[in-house]
Amino acid sequence: MLVLVDSIELVKKYIPKFPKIVNKIIKKKDKPTTIIYQGAKKLAKNLLNIDGTIRIRIVNDEFCKELIFRFNKPIVSTSANFSGMPFPKNFSEINNQLIQQINYVVNWRQEDLIISSPSRIVKIGENNKIEILRE
């Protein structure tokens, strides 16, 4: 799972030692970027990975930004596919069995056929070492 936020200020609220290098990574807006940080504060313990890391993405989608802004809190997300299955490129490719298991699906961009790609995943390790896990 990962945590979605609407701004870098919200990231800083949950990451005790915010690495300055993240500013450069986030400014590269060619695709969504999920960053794995060492440790977190003020988040549910079950969101942390076994190694104590947390995945956070600043959203670009206006609907998501507005939702997070109105909640005044991050939201938890996961990928829209079963583990090991291909990433859906748009809503029409999401497995219907998965949709049936969801409590609520927002009626937003469901007819949109724009092809999306999975986010870039960057891990910030010890001493702010950057590791690209998925480009």
Give the model's pLDDT for residue 64. Answer: 92
Give the model's pLDDT for residue 126. Answer: 83
Give the model's pLDDT for residue 3. Answer: 96
| Residuewise pLDDT in 10s, the chain (135 residues) | 899 999 999 999 999 888 988 888 887 767 789 999 988 889 999 999 998 899 999 998 899 999 999 998 999 998 889 988 988 988 999 999 999 999 999 988 888 888 777 788 999 988 889 999 988
Give the model's pLDDT for residue 20. Answer: 87
pTM: 0.85
- Residue 4 · residue 66 · CB < 8 Å: no
Give the model's pLDDT for residue 117. Answer: 76
Give the model's pLDDT for residue 127. Answer: 85
